[in-house]
Chains A and B, each alone.
Chain A
Amino acid sequence: MKMPAISGTLAKASMGTDTERLPALMRDGFDAVWRLLRRLGLPADAADDAAQEVFLVAARRLGEIAPGSERSFLYGAALRIAQTARRRLSRDAQRHVQLDDTRIAATPTPEAALDTRQQLEALDRALAALEHDERSVFVLFEIERLTLSEIAELLLIPRGTAASRLRRARSRFVRALRTQKRGSRG
């Protein structure tokens, strides 16, 4: 599967030995995998763990990953691991205390950081309003910028199904986000 914008490092790693390939795969794909895990509903610390797990799986199965399909493999593993992690988290939810959960790049002022955090929290609440299947399609399309055909191939569903999930997800997402915005104003 052709995936979007893999860097030169990863493209080169596709052709290199396993010793070169794994670090390149991690350097190039770690942020995207971590971000996907976050938007699939994992808190930052759980996303750290889950991203590491994704790459441990990749390390074990490196020989099976065809050159050029690295990102597809990583996203597939991330989707499965996120599902397991979310189930585990929901069981443990009562024992967790929410710490500062956003990882924000340096912002000019504390106000800007707070604003960013609030927007990300609002986004995550809106994403939480989606069904799991819709959420995966939405995040892969809207944030990770995969095409519908790529998503369909990744999730083993027809393209039309991916498109209809995206339509439903968009509608719910926008509604949820706007409801929150109205609520915060009122």
Chain B
Amino acid sequence: MADPKRLMDRVGPGFERAALLLAADERPDPATRERALRTVLAAAAVGAATGAAAAGAGGKASTGLAALFAKWMGAGLLIGGAATFAGSALVEPAPSPPRAESAPQLGAARPPGAERGAAPSVPTQTREVTIEGSPLPPAASRSQGDVRIGATSTLVEAESMRRIRAEARLDRGRALRLLDQHLLRFPGGESASEARALRDSLARRK
């Protein structure tokens, strides 16, 4: 049985057709897509590493499988890195920024909207998670210091941006002030373009 002709395929002008064509052309921000990609890949990497670790603990790891070995290495790196980061946060609480420790944890992909009232989800990736290729670089290519500094800076910036997005829904003036502070603090950060766009959007609103 043939399907009816779609409204947007009908010939001639028409308000319905025009609106549907526009809708079919609407796209998310490329930045949104890339952020989601990194978050999902980070979550998948953590999941794979955890799974591999569990398999290894059960004594079922096949020594002949390079992939499994790679996952093991990934698990070790992740757990070691996370432990170092968490340990340093507990033992030597940094004087600033105050909310750094409450930032999202590495790879702990919160289901978006799990806390709807708080804010939209924020990617929980670190700079070590790449889009192309292996999500985890070889251990030799990074030091513990790199992990801590890079991750903390990224997480603080992401946390700041998340807070601003939440404020933007509630208090425009406060959101604008926070955006100014954010841009001063992270002028070349990953979220700088989003912050500028949001600032423009809020500034235009009366």
Residues of A that sit less than 8 Å from B by CB: 18, 22-23, 26-27, 30-31, 34-35, 38-39, 44-53, 55-56, 58-60, 62, 85, 88-89, 91-92, 95-97, 99-100, 102-105, 116, 119-120, 122-123, 126, 141-143, 145, 147-148, 159, 163, 166, 170, 173-174, 177-178, 181
Q: Is the CB of A102 within 8 A of B26?
A: yes
Which residues, 139 to 167 on B, are CB-close (under 8 Å) to A? 165
Q: Which residues of A contact B43 (CB under 8 A)?
A: 56, 59
Residue of B nearest to A180 (CB): B15
For B6-31 the 0/1 string (1 means CB < 8 A from A) is 11100000011011101111111100
Nearest CB of A to B118, in Å: 11
Nearest CB of B to A62, in Å: 8
Residue of A nearest to B29 (CB): A103
Complex CA gap A88/B118 in Å reads: 13
Complex CA gap A31/B24 in Å reads: 10
Q: Is the CB of B28 within 8 A of A34?
A: yes
Q: Which residues of B contact A30 (CB under 8 A)?
A: 28, 33, 36-37
Q: Is the CB of B32 within 8 A of A48?
A: yes
Q: Is the CB of B44 within 8 A of A142?
A: no
Nearest CB of B to A61, in Å: 11
Q: Is the interface of A mostly helix, strand, loop or mixed?
A: helix
Q: Which residues of A contact B20 (CB under 8 A)?
A: 123, 142-143
Q: Which residues of B contact A105 (CB under 8 A)?
A: 25-27
Q: Which residues of A contact B1 (CB under 8 A)?
A: 159
Using known A-B contacts A52-B112, A88-B113, A181-B15, determine if residue A23 contacts B37 with beta carbons closer than 8 Å: yes
Q: Is the CB of B24 within 8 A of A143?
A: yes
Complex CA gap A58/B169 in Å reads: 30
Query: Quick one: which of A47, A56, A100, A119 contacts B109, CB cutoff 8 A?
Result: A56
Q: Is the CB of B121 within 8 A of A49?
A: yes
Q: Is the CB of B120 within 8 A of A22?
A: no
Q: Which residues of B contact A102 (CB under 8 A)?
A: 26
Q: Nearest 6 pairs between A and B by C-beta?
A: A49-B112, A123-B19, A52-B36, A59-B44, A34-B28, A55-B40
Q: Is the CB of A122 within 8 A of B44?
A: no
